[in-house]
Structure 1
């Protein structure tokens, strides 16, 4: 692989002189500049992302940060991001957890899309700037350099629970995700509001804390089965937990929906096969929109107003008609 040292050696100049030419600095003679450019073309030498960003003043690489390989919807989001990035001649870096922070500077990337609850708000506020815009997918932030692209969790959750109530269900359990996440808070609030509007009491003992993974839904269902009486319906804050709960019920001879109905949220790949009633989130579009807004902000088209994505309810066999 040809490097900047090879170019410098053939041109008979220092590496810093080659760098100055690539960065379009004026402190190099026209003769030397032309010589270096000619050698770069002959060797098909391309500067790295950092070099290109210094030359143009803008970095054409963006970063996507997420934290959980266990959830299949990430792949759809990545596909959406990748398609928009490729169509606009940008490059994409994907990383997870704490390792991403070292890439969040303008010498390496021009901006970031963040979907990681472990990345603290104060860290994002410290990093975001006019020259380094950020798009967040998992929270709403009021910052002049941070754009929030979030799912409208409240309306479809409320409507789904209303639909379940309209089908005759009157007692409920709830399996929540990580309690600090905005998604879980909004979904749980919609669930409680729908019950309240219909004058249905909800006991806190019927709330089970999960972590959005299948095993936590499985464990919640196992605990629920220890009680004397099952609720009419178990509402889960995402599909993975709902699928875990359905597997636990099936192992113990409890029928869905005859003995207990189950709902999820996300419409993951297994939801249709399991007959799971859920809310479908357009994750490919979510990634595509996030990439579009980030690149527009990198290019100076400032837009940091919160964008809410609509989701739709899909009723399947996991909810029937309660007699």
Structure 2
């Protein structure tokens, strides 16, 4: 009888574990950059990126913030989304563009070790979800982050006033400000995979090394340090090479912890901009996310 009771308990435990696994869901979160455009709080508003029907990872959600105000004031929108979809038994893949990577990096560094209520993944009109079981966890369940045209290291266009300096976000995007805003090495053990575009022409005189018309390789490649530096492709004569992966760059500069370059635009084919159709360097990242975020 005791043996039967033990078997029954074991069977019940297996059923509970199977039910928990069945309820687990993966989501793909897309975090916009400067200018915004999607409806804040509406995770199905894709105005910033392109057509919403485009494949962009499993259970994709558009995490919209205004793309205008400073990072600290808008971080709550990101935390709402992470709480909604990346707690409890649910896990997230995350894709960011431009200042969206600064937004996520700041949020992870500042709040990624905090206690978070487990949520039910059913957002209200403000983009907030209800508690699932009243329990909490430390931080969020994130599989990886992919970042196209990252502005986490700032942009010289903000330094020199090429963007409207009245925008609070532009002040955050100054290179020295962006690099001192939070600990870029503190990713809460989450890996960031970087996509660096090089089809830059309009502002080539202001942006050092290769650039995508908005950010240089020192930012889109996740390069550590207190200021930007000139980095380029192996064919460039006048700048050190940005290396793929986590290796140090030519000249000795290094990447932030858990930052790895997945794509370097050796052909100089990709600019910074979505152009309403998942364009520019976003197109390369979107293809990888669609194939890998399952």
**Higher relative strand content:** 2
TM-score by length of 1: 0.33
**Higher relative helix content:** 1
Larger CA Rg, structure 1 vs 2: 1
TM-score by length of 2: 0.36
